[in-house]
Amino acid sequence: MQQQQQQQSLHDLDAPRLSQLSQDHFSQLSQADTQEAHKIRRQTRAQIRRIAETLETNRAEYVENPKLLNEHLDHLDHLQKNVLTTSESALDSRVLLTSTQIVHERIMSLKLGRAMFNMTEFVTKVLNHAADRPGESLAEIGNHFAPFMARAPALEVMMGPMDVVVKKREVVKRAAREVAAKQIAKTRNITEHTQQASGSDSAQTRRFVRQTHQILMRLRNQDTENGGVVPLFEFILHPRSYAQTVENMFFVSFLIKDGIAVVRYEDQGDIVLWGESQEEVKQKIDEANKNGTGERRSQWIPSITLDEWRELVDLYGLRGQEPKYIPNRDYSGIQDYAENE
C-alpha cells in the first residue's frame, strides 16, 4: 500500500491539503502532522527535481515548442506553496533558470524570412527608418514597443554596431624568420664580443697582479733591513684616482690569496705589507705538509670609501702628486670621476 502511494502521480496531490501546511502553522502541528509535512516536503523536492530533469533531457524539444513549458511552469507554481526551506528554493531557482535559457535559445533561433533574427540589425534598421522620416519620433517608437520588451528601455542608444569583431593581425612567417635570424646573429656577435672582452680583461688583470708583486719584491731587495715592509694603504694609494686605488687593493688581495704577499697589524694599529718569493711560499707549504698542519689561504679585501680615500691622500700628503709605489695605468678615453679632486 505504501509503495502504491509513492508511485502515485505527483500531479494528483490535493492542492488544498498542501496549502494548509504553510510555515505559519508548523509550530502548531502535532507529531503526526509534522511527519506528514516532512513527507510532503520530500515529495515537493522530488517533483521539482523531476521537472528539472525533464527540461534538461528534452531541451531541444522545448526550444522548438516553448508552449510545452507552460504545463511545467503551472505545476511549479502549484508547488511554490510548499517551498519553505533553502533546499526547495535552490531547486526551484534551478528550474526557472533552465526555463529562461530555453526561451532565450528560442528567441535567438527565430528567423525573419530566410535570415536569422539579429538584434543588432533590427535596431539599426529601426534607427535608419526613423532617421529618414522626420515626422516619426524615436521616443514614440520606444513607447510603442515598451510593453513587449522583457526589460525597461535604455536611457540612450549607442549609434553604431553593438557587436564589434576584433580583426586578427596576419603574421607573415617569412618576416618573423628574418627577424629571428637577425636576433640570433646579433646575440652571437654580442656573446663573442663578451667572451673576447672577458678574456682580455682576465689577461690584463693577471699582468697587473704580476707587476704589483714585482714592485713588492723590488722594495724588499732595496730595503734589506726592514724586508721591504711598507704601509698597506700608502702602497695602494693613487692620489689622483679613487678607481685605481680600489683596483690596487684587489691586486694586493690576489697576492695575499696566492701567499706571495703578507699583511700584518702593527702594535700602533697600522697595517703593513711585504712580498715573498715563490720559493719561500713553496718552502712554507712543504714544511706545513711535513708537520701535518697544511696551509690555509684566504683572500683579504678591506673596503675603502671615497671619503676615506680623500682622508688617506691628505694623511700621506700626496694630494696632486703621482702615486708613490704603483704607477698610474693609462685607460685610454676613460676619465676617473674622482681624479684631480
Tens of pLDDT, residue by residue over 60-69, are 887 787 777 8
pTM of the model: 0.39
31-57 helix and 86-108 helix, angle to the nearest 10 degrees: 20
How far apart (Å, rounded) are the C-alpha atoms in residues 1 and 12?
17
Tell me, what's the pLDDT at 287?
A: 74
What are 107-133's pLDDT values in tens digits? 777 665 556 666 677 777 777 776 666
Q: Which of 330, 166, 163, 154 is nearest to 238 (CA)?
A: 330
Residue 118, pLDDT score: 67
Task: Give 36's contacts (C-beta < 8 A, 6+ positions apart).
Answer: 21
Minimal CA–CA distance to 207: which of 308, 329, 98? 329
**Is the pLDDT reported for residue 173 higher than 60?**
no
Query: Cell numbers at residue 265, please?
Result: 697589524
What are the backbone angles phi and psi of residue 274, rounded to the nearest 5°? -150, 160
**Contact in structure between 88 and 82 (CB atoms under 8 Å):** yes
Distance, first Cα to last Cα, the chain: 112
CA distance 73 to 221: 112
184 has pLDDT over 70 = no
For the chain, give the mean pLDDT: 70
Mean pLDDT of 23-43: 64
Three-state DSSP class for residue 111: strand
Contacts of residue 324, Cβ cutoff 8 Å, sequence gap at least 6: 234, 235, 237, 316, 318
Provide the pLDDT confidence category of residue 18 given band limits of 50, 70 and 90: very low
Q: What pLDDT, on a 0 to 100 scale, did the predictor assign at position 188?
A: 58
The pLDDT value given to residue 196: 52
The pLDDT of residue 191 is 53
pLDDT greater than 70 at residue 210:
yes
Does 197 have pLDDT greater than 60? Answer: no
Look at residue 106 in the predicted model and tell me its pLDDT.
Answer: 78
What is the grid cell recorded at 313? 691622500
What is the pLDDT, as a whole number, of residue 231?
83
Count Cα atoms within 13 angstroms, Cβ side, for 229: 11
Q: What is the mean pLDDT of residues 9-13?
A: 45
Report the alpha-carbon distance of residue 278 to residue 258 in Å, rounded: 9
Buried b (16+ CB within 10 A) or exposed e, 22-48: eeeeeeeeeeeeeeebeebbebbbebb
